Amino acid sequence: MTKKILIVEDDRRIAELVRAALVREGFTAEVVADGNEALVAFRVASPDLIILDRGLPGMDGMNVLREVRQSDHTPVLVLTARDQEDDTVHAFELGADDYVTKPFSMRELMVRIKSLFRRSPVQQMTPTVQFDRLEIRVAERLVLIDGKQLETTRTEFDVLLLLASNPGVVFSRERLLHEVWGYSFEGYERSVDTQVTRLRKKIEEDPKDPKFIETVWGVGYKFRNAQG
Ligand code: CA
């Protein structure tokens, strides 16, 4: 089935370039230019993925993201300007799955979109992964702490599942980017740190003294050994 992508971008030139690139890749794409239209199109067309410009007239991109996330897990890729780097952290907090900084190459954008589609659903042999208070139900893509369900984004879930499925194995940031995001562009290692910080806030009793995801200084992260 053809994947439907909603482009929310007020810069008509960028929107048209992105739309044309998506169509060339075999996607169906619709463009809207402001936040309110985006929410209408999101509800009416139920796209398979949303490309969301951060800076929009009227309703800001971050508010659109917040609204979308209240009811849905459709992957969202946020477009940000280079001087809005702090906003990428904010975008992840609101549940964005990935972001691209303007100016971007169409090739990079297409790689990322395809990888977002590839990522879900994760096929695993193990139906659940359990460590003390933490339980991951793979098929349902649920994370529970003490039996209580947590809200996780697709990316947070994939990072946690990969680490927890390989306890004691050290993953470099580059390897995590490769395996979870499906690509590794230079300079995006910080995205990994942001995701881990977000996860720790959700799953750890004390995020500053993490018991599940340990930092391996100068390398990356590992999930603690079952005995540890
Ligand atoms: Ca804009």
Distance 57 CA to ligand 1 centre (A): 7
What is the band of 122 on the pLDDT scale with cuts at 50, 70, 90? very low
Give yes or no for residue 121 having a pLDDT over 60. no
Distance 4 CA to ligand 1 centre (A): 21
Give yes or no for residue 143 having a pLDDT over 60. yes
For the beta carbon of residue 66, count every other beta carbon within 10 angstroms: 14
Query: Cα–Cα–Cα angle for 191, 193, 194, nearest 5°?
Result: 65
| CA nearest neighbour of 27 among 42, 44, 9, 47 | 47
What is the band of 228 on the pLDDT scale with cuts at 50, 70, 90? very low
CB 22 within 8 A of CB 5: yes
Distance CA 214, CA 219 (A): 11
Distance 9 CA to ligand 1 centre (A): 6
- In order of start, what are the domains of the chain with their CATH numbers? 4-118 (3.40.50.2300), 128-223 (1.10.10.10)
pTM above 0.75, yes or no: no
Distance 199 CA to ligand 1 centre (A): 30
| CA nearest neighbour of 93 among 215, 206, 174, 191 | 191
Distance 198 CA to ligand 1 centre (A): 27
Distance 53 CA to ligand 1 centre (A): 6
Distance 52 CA to ligand 1 centre (A): 9
Distance CA 114, CA 135 (A): 29
CB under 8 Å to 192, separation ≥6 — which residues? 159, 173, 176, 177, 220, 221
CB under 8 Å to 217, separation ≥6 — which residues? none
Distance 59 CA to ligand 1 centre (A): 11
Strand locations in the chain (E):
4-8, 28-32, 49-53, 76-81, 98-102, 128-131, 134-137, 142-145, 148-150, 170-172, 213-216, 220-223
pLDDT, position 184: 67
Distance 65 CA to ligand 1 centre (A): 14
The token pair at 81 is 């300007």
Distance 91 CA to ligand 1 centre (A): 15
Distance 109 CA to ligand 1 centre (A): 17
Distance 58 CA to ligand 1 centre (A): 11
Give yes or no for residue 146 having a pLDDT over 70. yes
Sheet of strand 49-53, all strands in order from the earlier edge strand to the far edge: 28-32, 4-8, 49-53, 76-81, 98-102
Distance 104 CA to ligand 1 centre (A): 14
Distance 120 CA to ligand 1 centre (A): 29
pLDDT, position 9: 97
CB 35 within 8 A of CB 8: yes
CB-count exposure of residue 174 (10 Å: 0-12, 13-18, 19+) = middle
For the beta carbon of residue 95, count every other beta carbon within 10 angstroms: 22
pLDDT, position 188: 78
Distance 197 CA to ligand 1 centre (A): 28
Give the 3-state secondary structure of residue 227: coil
